[in-house]
A and B are shown apart, each in its own frame.
Chain A
């Protein structure tokens, strides 16, 4: 009976995997096309210049805003402010997560072309990306349950932990501009179909 169940589950599970595989690979746009290069380029720029810019973060998590609202003697206003600020913070993390996903997808779509791909290096890289995504999910969880103002200090520990994970997975290096160079929208003639 146990073997019957085991093999039935294996067969059924594989059919589900097959269904997920076929529905997810329905994209007709070839990976690595100019469009995906642009998306990845935009993702990196948005992360560096907008989403993770100190000004944006200060605006979202500004405690002076909180102090100001708390000075108003109205519980309804307090509640509305906290609710809306939480919503904004959650959306902000969601956008960061989306851009990290774009970068990860771009990396995956390009790395397969390199004949000298190192499986261990690839594994460490993807672990790093996943740890960042995990940090984003943790941040969302914390913001949802503790609010944006109580979250900031706690989340720092999560990010540090993710950083340690990245460092153990592979030695971090100084930022190379090569990635940005690689992400520059290519001229039509520079695209090589292999």
Chain B
């Protein structure tokens, strides 16, 4: 135990102990609950017409469900090939995850063209910043690579997803766009998944293989929480509240001018107040 303590940070030890000492039944239950819930959600979405309303999300979920079954099979019957199946399938999930974020943008900002425009600008700026950072690192240090391990690569790409989703959430919050139960659930579940993924992947990259035992339980458990969020919020169709738009001024230039005028009026009155 002493040698182990030197290899990994102390906070990893309880996870490992828990993983090693726990019944393998728990791992099995956690691993199979995911696909069961995923297929239940997909069938329900087909029945309720949700698949057509959130096509990218449910395509993502279908892929994850199929990949989960494949991984479970490979883990139990061809363990030596598990790593070569896990990471490629994870990269495909990751790419589909970018589609889920774009769907969040599209579904929630469809009736707010100005906000959608702002979000697109923001997403382009975030992507440009990420590419600029990667380019800068690649040019300044020839030894640098995007991720020396698959876990590091996934961690970095998930972090980029966090940046983009945070930008989209910022735009939704700024324009005070009302969200329905489905949208909130989608954002909550995927956001939770991204946040916890980046933290566990960071821990995995830092602690190395000694974290594998804990990871086998922690990752499916956290994903199960996200899946339960989706199950409760996406079981039936709940649209976003219909916004009411009363366009009395015609276009944004006139509207912004009237807002500025109102603001200037307040400022001028306030100025008179404090400078009698």
Contact = CB atoms under 8 A, between A and B. Distances in A.
B106 interface: no
A98 interface: no
Query: How many of chain A's residues touch chain B, expressed as a range?
Result: 35 or more
Contacts of B272: 52, 54
B29 interface: no
B274 A159 contact: yes
A18 B191 contact: yes
Contact of A117 (B118, B265, B267): B118
B169 interface: yes
A28 B191 CA distance: 21
Interface in A1-45: 1, 3-4, 6-8, 10-12, 14-15, 17-18, 21-22, 24-25, 27-34, 37, 44
B79 interface: no
Nearest to B202: A7
Interface stretch (B32-40, B46-54, B253-261): B253-261
Given A112-B112, A172-B260, A33 B244 contact: yes
B244 A52 contact: no
B155 to A, nearest CB: 6
A72 interface: no
A160 B176 CA distance: 30
Nearest to B110: A194
Contacts of A111: 114, 175, 252, 255-256, 259
Contacts of B136: none
Contact of B177 (A31, A34, A121): A31
Contacts of B159: 7, 10
Given A11-B162, A28-B241, A156 B266 contact: no
Main secondary structure of the interface of A (DSSP, over half): helix
A194 B253 CA distance: 20
Nearest to A186: B246
A109 B275 contact: no
A163 B267 CA distance: 7
B21 interface: no
B252 A118 contact: yes
Contact of A132 (B198, B253, B254, B270): B270
Contacts of B257: 173, 176, 178
B196 interface: yes
Contact of A159 (B187, B206, B262, B275): B275
B243 A18 contact: no
Given A7-B159, A159-B267, A182-B255, A27 B178 contact: yes
B271 interface: yes
Given A22-B188, A125-B256, A175-B264, A7 B198 contact: yes
A115 B274 contact: no
B242 interface: yes
A113 B114 contact: yes
Contacts of A173: 257, 260-261, 264
B274 A170 contact: no
A155 interface: yes
A12 B117 contact: no
B28 interface: no
B216 interface: no
A171 B192 CA distance: 43
B214 interface: no
B251 to A, nearest CB: 6
A114 B162 contact: no
B145 interface: no
Given A30-B178, A172-B264, A178 B253 contact: no
Given A8-B202, A14-B194, A48-B269, A128 B252 contact: no
Contacts of A129: 263
Interface in B134-172: 155, 159, 162, 165-166, 169, 172
A151 B274 CA distance: 8
A119 B118 contact: yes
5 contacts: A7-B159, A14-B166, A47-B269, A57-B273, A115-B114
Given A112-B177, A159-B275, 7 more contacts: A1-B206, A22-B188, A27-B178, A96-B270, A117-B117, A119-B118, A129-B263
| Interface pairs A-B: 4 shortest CB-CB | A117-B114, A112-B115, A112-B175, A7-B202
